Amino acid sequence: MTTSVVHCPALFLTAPASNQGKTTITAALARYFTNQGKVVRVFKTGPDYLDPQILAQASKQPVEQLDIWMAGEDYCQDKLYQAAKVADLILVEGAMGMFDGEPSSADLAARFGLPMAIVMDVKGMAQTAAAVATGLANFRDDVQVAGLIANRCGSERHAELIRDALPASLPLLATLKRDEEITLPERHLGLVQADEVKDELEVRFEAAVEWLKETQDTGLLELPSAVPFSPASQVDAEQTIEQNLLGKTIAIAKDAAFSFIYDANLIALKSLGANLVFFSPLKDQTLPEADALWLPGGYPELHTKALSENSSMRQAIKDFYQTGKGILAECGGMLYSLDDLTDLEDKCYPMVGILSGQGAMRGKRGCQGMQTAVIPQGEIRGHAHHRSRSANTPDPVGYGRRQRHPAPGEAIYQQKGLTASYLHLFFPSNLDVTAKIFLGKGN
């Protein structure tokens, strides 16, 4: 049987390290081509909630994660294929450095034949930037590098020194001047959530488009070469999913305090047959009618007073807990479920109190990394990223299994229908376990 191959221009933006400007440039490119009437589909590698919010607004299209470890090759292949069928351009933003992680950005690009553009902050170097880029481009022979994007380039003379030092096989795609007006706003866990600065982002996106146009090297402003995308070899997953949540309504906390929600997780819940409703622990007084509850991660530490003062919502969640129905509380959602939370100003406020213990922020120190949640219902993959600690919590039912380290990962708690942990779960990695968590089975 022949498979249907779709060709679509694609570019994977990578870097030698974090904080080189990947998200800013990816967002600028997405808006540049969107303004030209192109359909731009953007993907983000690895576990990330904040960058996709920014990139979705820039491209005016949904943004999902691509991660071979979290979701598998077939999942990633299908996402790229489905995007290629509707898009004029696919952009993928990498995580950390080009070869960091297992699998790395380079592994993902090599697996799907995506050409990579190296984004580098060249402030304080010239020919050395060319040397580093050349080393990255030649480090592996299964990775195709389209060229270098020199970010924060001081002048045309600066650009010329870099350009002349690059080999012919590695063109300078763009030289982007230093411009703080297009820098994206940040806070302690990364970029500020898009919904909080929506209007400001629009100004920055349009300024970034003009920023791109000022480059003397215009390779980045042309559509990249088309890449062939084929469907995954696995039979269409939608035909084999058992709708174990059919007819069930899941109430999801979503507001400025709770917003770390993968679009892929929402799609997964719908594929299981669930009906999704949203509510705000900050503003709503009661819960919507529901069969299960999801308290995702976010920034409850920035809204401790308002969350605490909404006593009617806290009581509503307590009452829901007593029914034994399924509740998933992840990271910030887990902090909200504890007895109290001490915020960044060292002020302590009562929280919901369905899980014994205290939460407290701890400045710049934190925990992050990929882990598999090992619980009675089975195993499901996810990640941890937090700068808080919890104390006086119950005995856990299991721990996260770290990707590359033998020490136990995050503790996982279960009682009545509640599953709580610092882990952010990626539902598509195990739909059966996802359904059991929300059904409250095995707790």
**Res. 1 pLDDT band, cuts 50 70 90:** very low
Residue 283 lies in a domain: yes
- The pLDDT of 358-369, averaged and rounded, is 74
**Res. 187 pLDDT band, cuts 50 70 90:** very low
pLDDT higher than threshold 90 for residue 199: no
Statement to judge: residues 203 and 331 lie in one domain: no
Residue 236 lies in a domain: no
Phi and psi (nearest 5°) for 204? -70, -40
pLDDT higher than threshold 90 for residue 102: no
- The answer to whether 400 and 372 have CB atoms below 8 angstroms apart is yes
pLDDT reported for residue 188: 42
DSSP-derived pairing of the beta strands 424-425 and 378-386: antiparallel
pLDDT higher than threshold 60 for residue 44: yes
pLDDT higher than threshold 50 for residue 399: yes
**Res. 26 pLDDT band, cuts 50 70 90:** very high
Task: List the domain range (segments joined by +) for residue 198.
Answer: 7-229
Q: What is the mean pLDDT of the chain?
A: 90
Separation CA 201–CA 45 (nearest Å): 22
Closest CA to 276 of 295, 292, 255: 292
CA angle 121, 125, 128 (to 5 degrees): 100
pLDDT higher than threshold 60 for residue 8: yes
**Res. 181 pLDDT band, cuts 50 70 90:** low
Residue 365 lies in a domain: yes
Statement to judge: residues 245 and 289 lie in one domain: yes
Statement to judge: residues 189 and 245 lie in one domain: no
- Cβ neighbours for 370, distance < 8 A, ≥ 6 positions apart: 47, 69, 70, 381, 382, 383, 402, 403
126: amino acid identity, one letter: A
Q: Is 243 strand, coil or helix?
A: coil
Active site residue 331: yes
Separation CA 197–CA 442 (nearest Å): 41
Statement to judge: residues 220 and 255 lie in one domain: no
Residue 1 lies in a domain: no
Residue 235 lies in a domain: no
Residue 428 lies in a domain: yes
Q: Identify the weakest region by mean pLDDT among 67-71, 129-133, 275-279, 330-334.
A: 67-71
- Which of 229, 253, 278 lies at the terminal end of a domain, its last residue? 229
Statement to judge: residues 194 and 245 lie in one domain: no
Instruction: Give the chain's domain count.
Output: 2
Residue 2 lies in a domain: no
- The pLDDT of 69-93, averaged and rounded, is 95
Statement to judge: residues 172 and 254 lie in one domain: no
CATH of the domain at 217: 3.40.50.300
Among candidate residues 8, 153, 331, 348, the one labeled active-site is 331
Per residue in 232-272, pLDDT tens?
Answer: 875 444 446 788 999 999 999 999 999 999 999 999 999 99
- Cβ neighbours for 356, distance < 8 A, ≥ 6 positions apart: 338, 339, 392, 393, 394
**Res. 164 pLDDT band, cuts 50 70 90:** very high
Q: Which run of H or of E encompasses 208? A: helix 198-213
Question: Quick one: what percent of the chain has pLDDT higher than 70?
Answer: 91
Statement to judge: residues 217 and 347 lie in one domain: no
Statement to judge: residues 159 and 286 lie in one domain: no
Statement to judge: residues 300 and 247 lie in one domain: yes
Burial environment of residue 27 by CB neighbours within 10 A (0 to 12, 13 to 18, 19 or more): buried
Q: Is 436 strand, coil or helix?
A: helix
CATH of the domain at 349: 3.40.50.880
Residue 234 lies in a domain: no
Statement to judge: residues 65 and 147 lie in one domain: yes
Separation CA 413–CA 94 (nearest Å): 33
Separation CA 168–CA 164 (nearest Å): 9
